């Protein structure tokens, strides 16, 4: 409700419209916030993927080391048994 005096809005009405303008987000602002959120989510996904790749590499390396160790133990057992 706008109050009119002398063809102008009263100070109280003008202040209310300013508050309404500040609280309403324009579609462009909402779109930008959505894009920013998508960008942040994409960066987090990339970071998680890099971390997962490092873990897979480490797992492969440990499996290879374990396999080599098992082979070495079997060779040593065979040598000791032959003596």
Which tokens hold the place of 71? 């082979």
Model confidence pLDDT, tens digit, residues 13-34:
555 555 555 567 788 889 999 9
Model confidence pLDDT, tens digit, residues 39-68:
999 999 999 999 999 999 999 999 999 999
**Position 83 confidence tier, pLDDT thresholds 50, 70, 90:** confident
Give the Cα separation of 63 and 69 in Å (integer): 10
pLDDT at 42: 98
Query: Does the global pTM surpass 0.95?
Result: no
pLDDT at 75: 96
Give the Cα separation of 15 and 2 in Å (integer): 11
């Amino acid at each position: 409700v706008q109050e009119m005096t002398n063809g102008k809005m009263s100070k109280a009405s003008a202040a209310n419209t300013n508050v309404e303008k500040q609280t309403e987000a324009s579609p462009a602002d909402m779109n930008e916030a959505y894009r920013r959120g998508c960008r942040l989510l994409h960066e987090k996904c990339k970071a998680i993927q890099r971390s997962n790749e490092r873990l897979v590499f480490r797992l492969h390396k440990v499996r290879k080391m374990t396999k080599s160790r098992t082979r070495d133990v079997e060779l040593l057992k065979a040598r000791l048994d032959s003596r």
